[in-house]
Chains A and B, each alone.
Chain A
Amino acid sequence: MNNEYIIEMLNITKEFPGIRANDNVTLQLKKGEIHALLGENGAGKSTLMSILFGLYQPTSGIIKKNGVEVKINNPNDANALNIGMVHQHFKLVECFTVLENIILGVEPTAAGPFLSTKDARAKVMDLSQKYGLSVNPDALISDITVGMQQRTEILKMLYRDNDILIFDEPTAVLTPQEIEELMKIMKNLAKEGKSILFITHKLNEIMEVSDRCTILRKGKYMGTVDIANTNKEELSRLMVGRDVKFEVDKDEAKPKESVLKIKNMTVPSKVHKNNAVKNVSFNVRAGEIVCIAGIDGNGQTEFVHALTGLEKMSEGHIEFKGVDISHSSIRERSKSGMSHIPEDRHKHGLVLDYTLEQNMVLQRYWEPQFQKAGFIKNGAVRDYALKLIDQYDVRSGQGPVTTVRSMSGGNQQKAIIAREIDKDPDLLVAVQPTRGLDVGAIEYIHKQLVAQRDKGKAVLLVSLELEEVMNVSDRILVMYEGELVGQLDPKQITVQELGLYMAGAKRDEVPAEV
């Protein structure tokens, strides 16, 4: 019997109605290794891990632990086999303390059902020391940083004595410094004999931390490689099926006059008493891509809402093409030449239960070309939608009459981009335009942004992805706790340095005008 592997998932197939999420996939995890699971969005990574964690049952295929076949029908079974998982969206109860979250489900009790946390607390503190996972056990989850929340999740697994640890895209929410720390923690855990499965689509991290890597593409098993004998290019070819350019092709920016001037913008927060955006001033010129970088939740969302008119500022002015639009409505701003690719495409970008063609004219249905005396000219809308679908390669089941909800995320995003760019805006505000999209779609969107710039338009990009920030932008502004703390040139700084600004460890004065 071959006991080299602690967990084996052999020939796993999982079918959902109309889709085969995993097609004859095999994954073998050695004891004490860090094994990466690589694939684009929708490649079936999460489905595979959900099967291992007992959230789904495979249609066919078997799972073995230490060479013995096991059935995992629910997370309890997984836990009994010492399999633990840090989910991409943390499974933490916000109004509970760190300690309460760790013990939830396996609560230590003294008399009958009454909780007794003394021993649990000691065990958690021991683990936290041993693996360098510093947490405050009595802090509420809602009060602590994302990094500490993640450490809580890891402690949750260790507290249950799990020795097979699944990390589902653990770095998506972290700063570069936190990522480095996590890598250290993961190596530490592996050294102590824990076996780690690490789901990601970030090649750099795989190269840095893992021993072996299994690649999935569109649900199919593409192979397992030793990281020591491979490189980024090979991995990405296996993942996407073709060569992918990591660099964005673009010439030097040729900025012209300022299109957008923001002066002393302050926006109150909806969740806490402080201001979300504090006294922000800068300008954006035609023919350049300015990127606002920062960790999620540092005021970017509120800033964009105030800029596009979704929220009110408490102080400050916005000047757009020489006109003060501080108090203009959303439609006035849109009409005057501002386009907005929103952060949350489902909430602010699309009406999900409308058809694609209806979504295409959401901001323009009142124009004479689309309506007469209040009645929509359906023919004109259809023609316009067909034109955009063709031009921007928006793929969907039934063309212009497809319900947008049924479309894939990438194509939903393409539809928004088509609509926003076709308005021929003077300023394109793009907020995390590539969030959740795969490499191919990201490439496409970056090209579109650069094309806008080269047409002499102003582009304001808000992004959390460091690679995107470094690759696409001509000028970087870092936002930290609602303030601009640095203006940087992407050609002259390193990712590490950018990370320091994002974490608030470093700051400069930011000039209000360039």
Chain B
Amino acid sequence: MLLLIKYTLLYGIVLMLVALGGMFSERSGVINLALEGIMSVGALAGVLTLCILPQGMAPGLVVLISIVVSAVAGLVYSLLLGFSAITLKADQTIGGTALNMMATALAVVIVKVFNGSASAKLNYSNNAFLIDIPVGDDKLTINVFLFIGLIILLLAFLFLYKTKWGLRLRSCGEHPQAADSVGINVYRWRYIGVMFSGLLGGIGGFAYVIPSVSTWNFEVGVTGFGFLALAVMIFGQWKPINIFGAAMFFAVFKSLANIADSTFLAGLGLSKNVYDMMPFIASMIILVLFSKNSRAPKAEGIPYDKGKR
């Protein structure tokens, strides 16, 4: 049971962070399919930082620096999406897909150069990120991203609904012409939305790779978690609190795979692959059921052109 909670919290926070990122982007009017790629880049940047930082450094500082680097890397990478989707008014789906393909390739090349060999794997220590909480005779291992995630959730909610910035960002995703007519710079707010998604996507990617294992093969990217986060965002109806709930829901399914061979589930005699498929099957079913009533931002996916009325 503790294991299930541990993994649910771990994956749930990752999904929530990335889905919140997607939410900011889409609320501003830019469909962000590049979350998967942004996560890969964030994870790569964070892990490389861990490998490069000197051994004796204070753990807190290591944690702080590596998270900031992953966030910045995600942000920078997301600017490519912003540039193509906002400045060049390109098709956002194609732009996002291109970034996804490039991210994994980029990560593999960089890691191989870094390793000086044909291996795309990096080994690292994740002790600084983990915190053990004793529960009875056992212990529950959580990580720093849980706290970061909850703080970001609160901030995201306040930003979106309680500030003038949130009102402006949302108006750009719903009716950019209306926003423009009252003097709101639609391009700027869409860039801000996309940059938020890069920031959160970068941290999310790092948060996915770090706590559970101490070696990562960058050939697999982030194993489809970015797409799962998109499903979470839709299931969460582009609303922060709902996204939190949706993320935890999906995380339970994902966690089943991790605990499949060590708990009662092993007795069922099902292949581990069945559990691995679970979150994706769940997302398919949920999207079929919910996408019909979905309340997506109205203007998302449509490049804004000042000249057109």
Chain A interface (Cβ < 8 Å from any Cβ of B): 50, 55, 74-76, 79, 85, 87, 91-96, 100-101, 103-107, 109, 112-115, 156
A100 x B175 contact (CB < 8 A) = no
A105 x B162 contact (CB < 8 A) = no
Q: Quote the shortest CB–CB distance from B197 to chain A (angstroms).
A: 20
**B183 contacts which chain A residues (CB < 8 A)?**
74-76, 79, 105
Q: Quote the shortest CB–CB distance from B152 to chain A (angstroms).
A: 17
**A95 contacts which chain B residues (CB < 8 A)?**
174, 295, 298
Q: Quote the shortest CB–CB distance from B196 to chain A (angstroms).
A: 15
Is B178 on the interface with A (CB-CB < 8 A)?
yes
Q: Quote the shortest CB–CB distance from A53 to chain B (angstroms).
A: 8
B146-187 contact mask (Cβ, 8 Å, vs A): 1 or 0 = 000000000000100011110110110011011111111000
**B182 contacts which chain A residues (CB < 8 A)?**
75, 79, 91, 104-106, 156
Q: A75 CA to B158 CA in the complex, in Å? A: 29
Q: Quote the shortest CB–CB distance from B293 to chain A (angstroms).
A: 12
**B181 contacts which chain A residues (CB < 8 A)?**
75, 85, 87, 91
**A91 contacts which chain B residues (CB < 8 A)?**
175, 177-178, 181-182
**B178 contacts which chain A residues (CB < 8 A)?**
91-93, 101, 104
Q: A79 CA to B184 CA in the complex, in Å? A: 12
B167 x A115 contact (CB < 8 A) = yes
Q: Quote the shortest CB–CB distance from B179 to chain A (angstroms).
A: 7
Known: A93-B179, A94-B298. 4 other contacts (CB 8 A): A79-B182, A94-B175, A109-B163, A112-B163
Contact A104:B180 (CB < 8 A) given known A92-B175, A93-B174, A114-B163: no
Q: A50 CA to B184 CA in the complex, in Å? A: 17
Q: Quote the shortest CB–CB distance from A354 to chain B (angstroms).
A: 23
B164 x A115 contact (CB < 8 A) = yes
Q: A244 CA to B93 CA in the complex, in Å? A: 51
B163 x A96 contact (CB < 8 A) = no
Can you list 6 A-B contacts with CB-CB less than 8 angstroms, sorted by A residue number? A75-B182, A91-B178, A91-B181, A93-B174, A93-B178, A94-B298
**A115 contacts which chain B residues (CB < 8 A)?**
162-164, 167
**B295 contacts which chain A residues (CB < 8 A)?**
95
B164 x A107 contact (CB < 8 A) = yes
**A85 contacts which chain B residues (CB < 8 A)?**
181
Q: A133 CA to B176 CA in the complex, in Å? A: 26
**A101 contacts which chain B residues (CB < 8 A)?**
178
Q: A156 CA to B183 CA in the complex, in Å? A: 13
Instruction: Count chain B CB atoms within 10 A of each CB in A87, A93, A112, A114 and give the residue with the most.
Output: A93
Q: Quote the shortest CB–CB distance from B199 to chain A (angstroms).
A: 18
**A156 contacts which chain B residues (CB < 8 A)?**
182
Q: Quote the shortest CB–CB distance from A503 to chain B (angstroms).
A: 27
Residue of B nearest to A90 (CB): B178
**B175 contacts which chain A residues (CB < 8 A)?**
91-94
**A105 contacts which chain B residues (CB < 8 A)?**
168, 179, 182-184
Q: A115 CA to B182 CA in the complex, in Å? A: 17
Q: Quote the shortest CB–CB distance from B280 to chain A (angstroms).
A: 31
The 6 closest A-B pairs by CB, nearest first: A105-B182, A107-B164, A91-B178, A76-B183, A113-B163, A91-B181
Q: Quote the shortest CB–CB distance from A256 to chain B (angstroms).
A: 47
Q: A156 CA to B163 CA in the complex, in Å? A: 19
Q: A492 CA to B84 CA in the complex, in Å? A: 62
**B162 contacts which chain A residues (CB < 8 A)?**
114-115
B residues 266-309 in Cβ contact with A at 8 Å: 295, 298, 309
**A50 contacts which chain B residues (CB < 8 A)?**
309
Residue of A nearest to B172 (CB): A93
Q: A79 CA to B163 CA in the complex, in Å? A: 22
Instruction: Count chain B CB atoms within 10 A of each CB in A92, A109, A113 and give the residue with the most.
Output: A113
Residue of A nearest to B295 (CB): A95
Residue of B nearest to A76 (CB): B183
**B298 contacts which chain A residues (CB < 8 A)?**
94-95
Q: A106 CA to B163 CA in the complex, in Å? A: 12
**B180 contacts which chain A residues (CB < 8 A)?**
75
Q: A275 CA to B146 CA in the complex, in Å? A: 48
Residue of B nearest to A79 (CB): B183
Q: A74 CA to B187 CA in the complex, in Å? A: 14
Q: A101 CA to B178 CA in the complex, in Å? A: 9
Residue of B nearest to A74 (CB): B183
Q: A112 CA to B159 CA in the complex, in Å? A: 12
Q: A74 CA to B306 CA in the complex, in Å? A: 11
Instruction: Count chain B CB atoms within 10 A of each CB in A96, A104, A112, A115 and give the residue with the most.
Output: A104
**A93 contacts which chain B residues (CB < 8 A)?**
170-171, 174-175, 178-179
B164 x A96 contact (CB < 8 A) = no
Residue of B nearest to A87 (CB): B181
**A109 contacts which chain B residues (CB < 8 A)?**
163-164
**A92 contacts which chain B residues (CB < 8 A)?**
175, 178
Q: A105 CA to B184 CA in the complex, in Å? A: 6
Residue of B nearest to A106 (CB): B182
Q: A104 CA to B163 CA in the complex, in Å? A: 11
Q: A112 CA to B164 CA in the complex, in Å? A: 10
Q: Quote the shortest CB–CB distance from A396 to chain B (angstroms).
A: 23
Q: A91 CA to B298 CA in the complex, in Å? A: 14
Residue of A nearest to B174 (CB): A93
Q: A96 CA to B180 CA in the complex, in Å? A: 16
A113 x B164 contact (CB < 8 A) = yes
B180-219 contact mask (Cβ, 8 Å, vs A): 1 or 0 = 1111100000000000000000000000000000000000
**B171 contacts which chain A residues (CB < 8 A)?**
93, 96, 104
Residue of B nearest to A112 (CB): B163
**B168 contacts which chain A residues (CB < 8 A)?**
104-105, 107
Q: A115 CA to B164 CA in the complex, in Å? A: 6
Q: A106 CA to B165 CA in the complex, in Å? A: 11
Q: A115 CA to B183 CA in the complex, in Å? A: 18
